[in-house]
Amino acid sequence: MNHIFRLLWVYIWIQYPVFAQVDNWEQKAKVMVDNQIMVRGVQDEKVLDIMRQTPRHEFVPTEQRPFSYMDSPLPIGYDQTISQPYIVGLMTSLLELKGNEKVLEIGTGSGYQAAVLSNLCKEVFSIEILQELAVRSKATLARLGYDNIYVKWGDGYQGWPDEAPFDAVIVTAAPPKLPPKLFEQLKVGGKLVIPVGSIWQELWVITKLQGGIMDKESVIPVRFVPMVHPKKPIPE
């Protein structure tokens, strides 16, 4: 009996990479976009097309791959999550990108949101506070050939002053209130898409008008992981 169990384990171990494969992912991504994102009202064809062509399964841990195209956020380790596909589509479309922008993202996480942005703008600058995730997402994006995304291990509350100003800013973790430096580093006419709040969070689209005036619009209630402060200083 013991012998059979041992053989079974060896079989599972050898077959694991096969189980973890995602067959026909383009079809799954298409169904995901049509049934989860379009039906909820995201209409930007460019965003929808890019999401049909982005291999979401490449951004999640192996054991989550079978669920990568499902209608939910997924754990990516270190208590963090990759956002629900609909939220990625919605936030991306709210930025109203034309193709030539320099975009700042806060909360690189898996790198998936950055990958989606990569094909819709000129450059993506993305900051992640957890070193392990910064290293991993950088490796994933390089492996998949994304060459206009710059990932930095750092504190998103500081923004990226050396690269500012940005045409658009997207924040994928929720601060209790709007971080002033992110608004400062936004160009006039640019949009900042950000979940704000603690227990109750709302997704805001903030436009910077002439004279630094803020135009705020609340879109929907959301649930994001908190935007945290570093536990120890992060080296420059």
Query: Which spans of this chain sit near ligand SAH (rule: CB under 6 A)?
Result: 80-83, 106-107, 109-110, 112-113, 127-130, 133, 155-157, 172-173, 225, 227-228
Q: Which is nearer to ligand SAH, 135 or 188 (CB)?
A: 135
Burial 63-82 (b: 16+ CB within 10 A, else e): ebbeebbeeebbebeeebbb
- DSSP string over 169-192: EEE-SB-SS--HHHHHTEEEEEEE
Q: Which is nearer to ligand SAH, 81 or 206 (CB)?
A: 81
Least separation in angstroms between residue 24's CB and ligand SAH is: 23
Least separation in angstroms between residue 211's CB and ligand SAH is: 28
- Distance CA(224)–CA(97), nearest Å, equals 23
218 tagged catalytic = no
Q: Which is nearer to ligand SAH, 212 or 226 (CB)?
A: 226
Q: Which is nearer to ligand SAH, 48 or 134 (CB)?
A: 134
Amino acid at 223: R
Least separation in angstroms between residue 6's CB and ligand SAH is: 38
Q: What is the largest CA-CA distance in the chain?
A: 77
Q: Which strand (E) or helix (H) includes residue 152?
A: strand 149-153
Residue nearest to ligand SAH (CB): 109
Least separation in angstroms between residue 78's CB and ligand SAH is: 7
> Which of 83, 110, 118, 137 is flagged as catalytic?
83
The tokens for 50 are 């890019």
The owner of tokens 């420059």 is 236
User: Which residues have a catalytic role annotated?
Assistant: 83
